[in-house]
Amino acid sequence: MVYTVQEVRALTPIRNSVEKLAERPDLDLRDVFLCHAWDDRKGVAKELHDLLESKGVSVWFSEKDVGLGVPLLRAIDKGLAKSRVGLVLVTPALLSRLQTEGIADKELSVLLSGERLIPIVHGTTYEALREVSPLLGSRSGLSTAEEPIEDVVTKLAELVTI
């Protein structure tokens, strides 16, 4: 996989942080926490989850990690605490949800407080993202408009599987 100079610069701090967490065998870590809009859970979010797992990436994904009767916010809190990297799947549905300050907004608030956050823009643009979340829009990430989702997943897998 070929990375641009900008991608290498943007991903180096994340990789350093991931490597530090990998040195902690006491934690039951997932490689990534997948933040997504509820409306995307059976579509592109599931596709991204499945592709990542096919590359050996362990993914915290609400659709499989929150059991029946389990308090959703507490399960998400634990998932965030035990994930090396946060992926935010930015879609038109997510942009709409962020404006209503729902669960995705709470996940994003936690993810923005750290340095291990990668936006994945799908079906929208960074310009639209910056209108809703200037902080998230300022983060370097990947876009499925620029490269196929399979290539995005390959880059993510190379970054997080240590």
Question: pLDDT tens, 87-146?
Answer: 999 999 999 988 888 888 888 889 988 888 999 999 999 999 999 999 999 999 999 999
Q: Mean per-residue pLDDT for 76-93?
A: 94
* 5-160 is classed CATH 3.40.225.10: no
Is the pLDDT reported for residue 13 higher than 90?
A: no
Calculate what percentage of the chain has a pLDDT beyond 90: 62
Sign of CA dihedral 32, 37, 39, 43: negative
pLDDT(152) > 70: yes
Q: What are the structural domain ranges in the chain?
A: 5-160
pLDDT at 35 over 90: yes
Q: Which residues share a beta bridge with 142?
A: 120
Residue with tokens 């936006």: 119
Q: Is the pLDDT of residue 50 over 50?
A: yes
Q: Quote the percentage of the chain above a pLDDT of 70.
A: 83
| pLDDT value for 99 | 85
Taking all residues of the chain, what is their mean pLDDT, rounded to a whole number? 86
Chain centre to alpha carbon of residue 143? 12
- Exposure string of 118-141, with b = 16+ CB inside 10 Å and e = fewer, is bbbbbbbebeebeebbeebbebbb
pLDDT of residue 24: 47
Q: How many CB atoms lie within 10 A of CB 38?
A: 15
For residue 53 the two structure tokens come to 């797992």
Range with the poorest average pLDDT among 27-31, 45-49, 55-59, 82-86: 27-31
